[in-house]
Amino acid sequence: MKYLQLGAAVSIHLCLLLSFSYGEHEIGYTESFSPNNGYTADWCADDDTLHFRLTARARGWVAVGFSDNQLMADSDIVMATGEGVIQDSWAFAHRAPPADASQDATLHSSSQIDRTTTVEFSRPRVTGDERDLSLDTERFVVWAMTATSDSLASRHSSRGFSAARIDFAAAASCSVGDPLTPLDDGSLTDPVERQAY
């Protein structure tokens, strides 16, 4: 696997085609953003929907955001925990972002194993919500995580942004075994151990 370095601490690697299974659900991600500190965001496209997997060396929440300015303020942010909580937010300033009135991110799986939090979710490329940036164009990625707390109001312990805009419209198609379905009853699918890569 080769990495394209974009700045001292940022890399983007493409065409990973990694598959992980949650019960009957399996998805192969094709694009990835991985800064050098235990955080990775993988994604792929399925028609008008983007599927994301966030993995962090942390026992708290993880977040990914989409931005036009590489800053937290004025960014569209999705926060999630390994305990099965997800929140679609808009950051007005450098503080905990409030939940949007329209929640457009759908959680598919969530786990905390040892010191690793992993969540998988999807959202439409274009939601129609004024508090969501469309992902049919290039955006910077902003990211954050916290080492120990699942409270979405807690401060991040690590954060950063991509050195270049990422073209989400050009995301390769997902490799999907069975269709993904949301966790509609509050229960989580059984987590599986993940191999390091």
Q: Which two tokens stand for residue 165?
A: 């805009």
pLDDT tens per residue, range 138-151: 999 999 999 888 89
Task: Report how far Cα 175 is from the mean position of its chain's Cα atoms.
Answer: 17
pLDDT above 90 covers a percentage of the chain that reads 60
DSSP 8-state secondary structure symbol assigned to residue 107: E
Distance CA(62)–CA(58), nearest Å, equals: 8
DSSP states along 92-137: SSSSPPPBPSS---EEEEEEEETTEEEEEEEEES----TTS--SSS
User: The whole model's pTM is what?
Assistant: 0.76
Please answer whether residues 48 and 135 qualify as being in contact, where contact means their C-beta atoms are separated by less than 8 angstroms: no
The per-residue pLDDT for range 12-22, each reduced to its tens digit, is 332 222 333 33
pLDDT tens readout for residues 36-89? 779 999 999 988 999 999 999 989 999 999 999 988 999 999 999 999 999 999
**What are the CA-CA distances from residue 19 to residues 43, 51, 177, 192 (Å)?**
12, 13, 9, 12
CA gap 78, 19 in Å, rounded? 22
